[in-house]
Amino acid sequence: MSTTAPYARELEIAQLAVQRAAILTKRVFHEKAKGTVSKDDASPVTIGDFGAQALIISALRANFPHDAIVAEEEAAQLRSDEKLRSLIWGLVKETKLGDAHAEEELLGGGVKDEADLLEVLDLGRSEGGRVGRVWTLDPIDGTKGFLRGGQYALALALLEDGDVKVGVLGCPNLPVDDEAPLAADIGANQTDDEGRGVIFSSVIGQGATSRPLGTAGLAESKPIQMKEVKEMASASFCESVESGHSNQSEAAQIAQKLGITKPSVRMDSQAKYGSIARGAGDIYLRLPTSKTYQEKIWDHAAGDLIVREAGGQVTDTKGRRLDFGVGRTLAENSGVIAAPAAVHGQVLEVVQEVLGLK
Ligand SMILES: Nc1ncnc2c1ncn2[C@@H]1O[C@H](COP(=O)(O)O)[C@@H](O)[C@H]1OP(=O)(O)O
Ligand SMILES: [Mg+2]
Ligand SMILES: [Mg+2]
Ligand SMILES: [Mg+2]
């Protein structure tokens, strides 16, 4: 009888694929800083997005050829831009998991040539839905954070019949140390120098973990847990840096009503979910800024499972669980409230009061 835990292989491939793609995004960031990637060659985030998406999808294609993929980017722009295509192909070709050949081999496949690069990118165009296995991928989540040297994440999750089963978040600019408190400036000027780069993982029913991002297959995963909120006065809440992504003035009113005294910690990307899951922060609020914007599944699936498996609860502002089974967007949801399970109800109540939802 096999004793392998459910989704062990999916988890391992997802972690290694994210780890490898992060080598590329970090390189692109540093070459931008050196001026090697010039503005004429397109935005560095474009290069990082396409490169990371191609690397991750090539690993999924090789290992799980029958699974559907919902990814943020598509090849269209690269079909007509030969220069950009060959620049990205050059980076993708060179990106390997260092000397960890066994891991590189495990990932398998790879991208064969420039034509295959386009093909691989477009494998991410599935419509998603409630049936079967669907991977969802954001190759660079938090593009604004990536560009300003703040937080960004490589986010990959596996859905089965609409439920998140595996979630992996690579955060190159977050501290490795789960105990490190959230610095007020964590959303800006953080680079992937020593002591930074963490990968958060979760499998349904198996808890959530963290391990250093840079050590392919070598470092052990450590369990992570949300922190107990003993009193709201000392709780910390996270929100977007971008005021267009989340209503910050409503969040401030909610915090005040809850009795939270600390200013919010603003950072880009799903690094917010990872940070509260490891107990560095407590609450993540994302309050709709418009009636028409629909959140994308790749912006939340990995973070949702990691927080829930670390002892949290994640709902929208109406108190409904996030529904990843309706397509490429969270069309049935509005905003996100993530908090330790013990205080989520209290937070939701105040959110609904301030938003006039009750
Ligand atoms: N109006 C909006 N409301 C909420 N999220 C948005 C909005 N516009 C874009 N986003 C998405 O928010 C995510 C980043 O959120 P955060 O502020 O937490 O870092 C990005 O994936 C971004 O999508 P996009 O990739 O198209 O820029
Ligand atoms: Mg995103
Ligand atoms: Mg993105
Ligand atoms: Mg984008």
What percentage of residues in the chain have a pLDDT greater than 70?
Answer: 95
CB 208 within 8 A of CB 177: no
Q: Is 289 in the pocket of ligand 1 (CB under 6 A)?
A: yes
Mean pLDDT computed over 321-340: 98
CA-closest candidate to residue 278, choices 232, 225, 231, 207 = 225
**β-sheet with 237-239: strand ranges across:** 265-266, 237-239, 283-286, 336-340, 312-315
Mean pLDDT computed over 222-239: 96
Q: How confident is the model over 62-82, as pLDDT tens digits? A: 999 999 999 999 999 999 999
- CATH for the stretch 8-224: 3.30.540.10
Residue 59, judged by CB atoms within 10 A of its CB (0-12, 13-18, 19+), counts as buried
Asked if pLDDT for residue 132 goes beyond 80, the answer is yes
pTM: 0.96
Q: Is 293 in the pocket of ligand 1 (CB under 6 A)?
A: yes
CA distance 155 to 296: 12
- Sorting pLDDT into bands at 50, 70 and 90, what band is 186? very high
Is residue 284 helix, strand or coil?
strand
pLDDT at 34: 61
List the structure tokens of 293.
Answer: 């914007």
CA 206 vs. chain centroid, Å, equals 19
pLDDT at 301: 99
CB 297 within 8 A of CB 270: no
Distances (CA, A) of 300 to 9, 33, 234, 238, 306: 22, 29, 26, 15, 10
Q: Is 151 in the pocket of ligand 1 (CB under 6 A)?
A: no
Residue 145, judged by CB atoms within 10 A of its CB (0-12, 13-18, 19+), counts as buried
ipTM: 0.96
**What letter would DSSP give residue 191?**
-
Q: Give residue 311's identity as a one-letter amino acid code.
A: G
Binding site listing: 72, 138, 140-141, 299
Binding site listing for Mg(2+): 72, 138, 140-141, 299
Mean pLDDT computed over 228-243: 96
Q: How confident is the model over 198-221, as pLDDT tens digits? A: 999 999 999 999 999 987 666 789
- Sorting pLDDT into bands at 50, 70 and 90, what band is 264? very high
Give ranges for CATH 3.30.540.10 in the chain. 8-224
Cβ atoms < 10 Å from Cβ of 144: 18
323 Rama class: left (phi>0) / alpha (psi -120 to 50) / beta: beta
Select from 72, 242, 293, 336 the residue to mutate for testing ligand 1; criterion: most ligand atoms less than 8 Å from CB.
242
Instruction: Please identify, in words, the CATH class of the domain defined by 232-354.
Output: alpha beta
Helices (H), the chain: 8-34, 44-63, 76-80, 82-94, 101-107, 114-122, 143-148, 248-258, 271-277, 301-309, 341-354
Provide the pairing of β-strand 237-239 with 265-266.
parallel
Is residue 320 helix, strand or coil?
coil
Q: How confident is the model over 81-117, as pLDDT tens digits? A: 999 999 999 999 999 987 657 888 888 878 999 999 9
CA-closest candidate to residue 152, choices 172, 167, 132, 166 = 172
Helices 44-63 and 114-122 pack at an angle, to 10 degrees, of: 80
List the structure tokens of 292.
Answer: 């028409």
CB 97 within 8 A of CB 16: yes
